[in-house]
A and B are shown apart, each in its own frame.
Chain A
Amino acid sequence: SQQGEEDPQALSIQEGENATMNCSYKTSINNLQWYRQNSGRGLVHLILIRSNEREKHSGRLRVTLDTSKKSSSLLITASQAADTASYFCATAPDTGRRALTFGSGTRLQVQP
């Protein structure tokens, strides 16, 4: 079963626009990670945010985490056609089995 729920399931924007994806989860976490997957390829790690962090930046990516609402958001600024991919959040719990639990993903289409 998948813990995370991404919202929206699909997103289509024009090149240069910003894209925001949201992730909600159910259990207490140690950290939350975002991954990108191009069609037919494996996942690529984008960013990791720990439970005691609220915001993190990496290039054109900005991730926020609200542990009180059990939610996270990924913002991609000034999108490019090459950003077209599926984006997944994954949570690492703070107790018990420590394996990552992935959400169902947001499919982002950036129109050139």
Chain B
Amino acid sequence: GAGVSQSPRYKVAKRGQDVALRCDPISGHVSLFWYQQALGQGPEFLTYFQNEAQLDKSGLPSDRFFAERPEGSVSTLKIQRTQQEDSAVYLCASSLGSINSNQPQHFGDGTRLSIL
């Protein structure tokens, strides 16, 4: 596809359920990022992949959050035992080069997660 694709666009889950959010980056992009965006705030960094390697996961808020990118393309963000404070928009972004290459990030439209 032409851009970064995220699915689902909306996800409603009950507290305690597990959820999985998918990101299809732009083909050939080396870097992939996950962000969490609360209402009225800017995105907060969660984790970064260079190809299949997760080089930085310092932004993941707890061990309930897990991300993978096994073949260096599609990535999945999994949240286990969801809690109400996990409600947010989860954004995925990709860029052509490595994180230090100063290239712009291309964002998907996000998954809006609501935990009831």
Contacts and interface: CB of A to CB of B under 8 A. Distances in A.
A90 B93 CA distance: 14
Given A99-B48, A99-B56, A99-B59, A45 B106 contact: yes
Interface stretch (B13-21, B39-47, B64-72, B76-84): B39-47
Interface of A: 2, 4, 30-31, 33, 35, 40-45, 48, 50, 88, 90, 92, 97-105
A2 B41 contact: yes
Contacts of B40: 104-105
Contacts of B4: 42
A50 B102 contact: yes
B100 interface: yes
Contacts of A105: 40-42
A40 B108 CA distance: 11
Instruction: Report the interface size class on chain B.
Output: 20 to 34
B108 A42 contact: yes
Interface in B76-114: 91, 93, 99-100, 102, 104-110
A85 to B, nearest CB: 13
Contacts of A90: 42
A2 B107 contact: no
A50 B59 CA distance: 25
B45 A100 contact: yes
B99 A99 contact: yes
Given A30-B102, A42-B4, A45-B106, A2 B44 contact: yes
